Amino acid sequence: MVDATLDEAFMRRALEAAKDAAQHGDVPVGCVLVKNGVFLAVGENRREIDQDPTAHAEVVALRRAAASLSGWRMDDVTAYVTLEPCVMCAGALLNARVARLVVGALDEKAGAVGSRYNLLSDPRLLHEVDVTYDVLASPSVALLQSFFSSRRS
């Protein structure tokens, strides 16, 4: 059952993580993982600060959640991401068997969950993820625009 108020509350937490990313010079994207309605892990984009090409918010959060659960399977887990996942992160969510994804803003250039590809809804792959779109998209877009405009100036 989808609880819109709960979805917004967890997405607000993901937006806080996105702000943390911007603080250390990374594109502001955040991800929160929730299992059966209970907070599990949070991650923010850390590519620049860690100089790690795989350290997108979703991968960071999944690694933390797996460490916390002592297990790689994210059954009954919902991922809240402020920006539509890229190919790598969509694949990471599939590999972790995440049950549901809640997306903030769309990424028309590199999004892999509806924009460029729709990788989470392919019955030929080993797993599918239920997706909810457009939860607090506006504050996510505002954060991204502010980050890129401050970098240009």
Structure tokens that stand for 149 in this block: 């405009």
Map tokens 């991401």 to a residue. 81
Residue 72 interacts with a copy of itself (CB under 8 A)?
yes
Residue 124 interacts with a copy of itself (CB under 8 A)?
yes
Radius of gyration from C-alpha coordinates of the chain: 14
User: Residues 102, 11: contact at Cβ < 8 Å?
Assistant: yes
Of 16, 20, 35, 66, the residue at the interface with a copy of itself (CB under 8 A) is: 66
User: Residues 55, 26: contact at Cβ < 8 Å?
Assistant: no
- Among positions 20-39, residues that touch a copy of itself (CB under 8 A) are none
- 58 classed as catalytic: yes
Q: How far apart are the first and last CA of the chain?
A: 45
Of 92, 102, 129, 143, the residue at the interface with a copy of itself (CB under 8 A) is: 92
Footprint of a copy of itself on this chain (CB under 8 A)?
A: 47-48, 51-54, 56, 59, 62-63, 66-67, 69-74, 86-92, 94-97, 109-110, 112, 116-117, 119, 122, 124-126
Which residues are part of the catalytic machinery? 58
